[in-house]
């Protein structure tokens, strides 16, 4: 299969989106941009189409999909009830990078829900994603558009490198604004639980809800996660990765003692750290406390550095506060918990 990357500049936009919607209606899989990461989309009401997502992504069949919608009527159709608190988050934080778990209706097929009685729904803010959902006339089931286990793609080229030859079309909407996946929150039972941290933190959700907790597995890595997807190996570059935390004044010394030539190591560092070291291959990710830019660049840079066949990648970690929790959640998985405190 030939994979086409559709250019979405003003001249081609409507025509390309119409072509993509036709493919979705006909049961094909199309990759598309959202404000978080690129999604691998298919008609969420078509079981056979949803099965194709699992096949091309090599995704385990027990890991349910998010349904993407653009309005409340679609949520009413897919859920058996909308509680007051669910409505509060929908009204205040949608459209945006938040996935809410609902009790599912019988419209949601078993391929999407993996046989469970809940459904994950997200109303994305990205204009291209919205247009595609509306033109297709159905909820779009979409996981991140990476092969299972790989870092999520934040631009069309990164989707292409994982999905080349396996899907018909990638809509090229440029680089994703946020760069890490949506916050997933389960509001079907109390205590309300963040299953996956993202752009929105516990504090953000607690502006609208009494109490929200992080799933235990996010705090204690020996606990089995409540969300199926969180238990799998994730976001890993092919090159071995170490995440470094602590006093960055010690990083030069730490690296000099690793016994690897520094020109064979790729680094992802904050501006403040990069100023004080003498390494060859450094990508500056953001200022140290600028978690928005850190999140925006992290998957992109991990994929970029992975192309050079370095012996090792080293990435600076962040403090686990607010969005730093979401960033460290992705980094811990990317490095398989290989974190060094210096």
Q: Considering the rule CB under 5 A, would residue 28 count as an interface residue with Mg ion?
A: no
Q: For ligand TXA, which stretch binds (CB under 6 A), given 158-166, 181-189, 247-255, 273-281?
A: 181-189
Size of the site for Mg ion (CB under 5 A): 1
Cα-Cα-Cα-Cα dihedral sign, residues 142, 145, 148, 149: negative
The reply, when asked if residue 59 is annotated as ligand binding, is yes
Helix 156-163 × helix 291-306 angle, to 10°: 40
The reply, when asked if residue 63 is annotated as ligand binding, is yes
39 binds, among Mg ion, ligand TXA, none (CB under 5 to 8 A by kind): ligand TXA
Pick 27 or 149: Cβ nearer Mg ion: 149
The reply, when asked if residue 296 is annotated as ligand binding, is no
Pick 34 or 262: Cβ nearer Mg ion: 34
State the Cα–Cα distance between residues 330 and 312, nearest whole angstrom: 18
Q: What's the min distance (Å) between Cβ of 322 and ligand TXA? A: 18
Q: Considering the rule CB under 6 A, would residue 302 count as an interface residue with ligand TXA?
A: no
Token reading at 299: 């998957």
Q: What's the min distance (Å) between Cβ of 318 and Mg ion? A: 21
33 binds, among ligand TXA, Mg ion, none (CB under 5 to 8 A by kind): none
Q: What's the min distance (Å) between Cβ of 14 and ligand TXA? A: 22
Q: What's the min distance (Å) between Cβ of 256 and ligand TXA? A: 38
The reply, when asked if residue 142 is annotated as ligand binding, is yes
Q: How many CB atoms lie within 10 A of CB 37?
A: 26
Q: Which residue is nearest to Mg ion (CB)?
A: 144
Asked whether the beta carbons of 239 and 309 are under 8 A apart, the reply is yes
110 phi and psi, to 5 degrees? Answer: -70, -20
Q: Considering the rule CB under 6 A, would residue 196 count as an interface residue with ligand TXA?
A: yes
CA 275, 277, 281, 282: dihedral to nearest 10 degrees? -40
Q: Mask of contacts with ligand TXA, 86-125, x by CB under 6 A?
A: -------------x-x-----------x--x-xxx-x---
Q: What's the min distance (Å) between Cβ of 63 and ligand TXA? A: 5
Rg over alpha carbons for the chain, rounded to the nearest Å, is 20
Q: What's the min distance (Å) between Cβ of 266 and ligand TXA? A: 25
Q: For Mg ion, which stretch binds (CB under 5 A), given 60-68, 143-151, 194-202, 333-341?
A: 143-151
182 binds, among Mg ion, ligand TXA, none (CB under 5 to 8 A by kind): ligand TXA
Beta-bridge partners for 196: 184
Counting every residue written for the chain, the total comes to 342
Q: Considering the rule CB under 5 A, would residue 144 count as an interface residue with Mg ion?
A: yes
Q: What's the min distance (Å) between Cβ of 96 and ligand TXA? A: 10
195 binds, among ligand TXA, Mg ion, none (CB under 5 to 8 A by kind): ligand TXA
| Residues contributing to the site for Mg ion (CB under 5 A) | 144
Q: Which residues are annotated as a binding site for L-threonine?
A: 36, 68, 122, 142, 182
| Residues contributing to the site for ligand TXA (CB under 6 A) | 34, 36-37, 39, 63-66, 99, 101, 113, 116, 118-120, 122, 142-144, 181-182, 184, 195-196, 227-230
């Amino acid at each position: 299969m030939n994979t086409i990357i559709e250019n979405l500049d003003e001249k081609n936009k409507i025509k390309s989106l119409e072509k993509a919607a036709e493919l979705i209606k006909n049961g094909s899989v199309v990759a598309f941009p959202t404000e978080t990461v690129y999604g691998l989309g298919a008609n969420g009401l078509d079981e056979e189409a949803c099965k194709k997502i699992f096949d091309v992504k090599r995704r385990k069949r027990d890991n349910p999909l998010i349904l993407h919608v653009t309005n409340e009527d679609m949520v009413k159709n897919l859920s058996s009830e909308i509680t007051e608190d669910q409505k509060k988050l929908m009204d205040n934080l949608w459209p945006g990078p938040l996935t809410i778990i609902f009790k599912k209706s019988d419209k949601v097929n078993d391929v999407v829900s993996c046989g469970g009685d809940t459904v994950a729904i997200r109303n994305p803010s990205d204009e291209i994603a919205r247009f595609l959902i509306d033109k297709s006339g159905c909820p779009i089931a979409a996981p991140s558009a990476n092969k299972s286990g790989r870092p999520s793609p934040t631009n069309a080229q990164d989707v292409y490198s994982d999905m080349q030859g396996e899907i018909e079309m990638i809509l090229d909407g440029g680089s994703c604004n946020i760069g890490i996946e949506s916050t997933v929150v389960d509001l079907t039972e109390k205590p309300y639980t963040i299953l996956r941290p993202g752009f929105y933190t516990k504090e953000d959700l607690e502006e609208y809800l009494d109490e929200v907790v992080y799933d235990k597995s996010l705090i204690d890595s020996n606990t089995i996660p409540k969300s199926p997807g969180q238990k799998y190996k994730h976001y890993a570059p092919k090159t071995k990765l170490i995440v470094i935390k602590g006093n960055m004044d010690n990083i030069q010394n730490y690296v000099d003692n690793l016994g690897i030539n520094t020109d064979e190591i790729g680094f992802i560092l904050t501006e403040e750290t990069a100023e004080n070291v003498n390494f060859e291959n450094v990508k500056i990710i953001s200022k140290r406390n600028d978690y928005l830019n850190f999140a925006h660049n992290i998957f992109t840079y991990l994929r970029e550095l992975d192309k050079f066949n370095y012996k090792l990648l080293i990435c600076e970690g962040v403090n686990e506060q607010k969005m730093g929790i979401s960033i460290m959640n992705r980094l811990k998985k990317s490095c398989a918990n290989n974190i060094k405190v210096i």
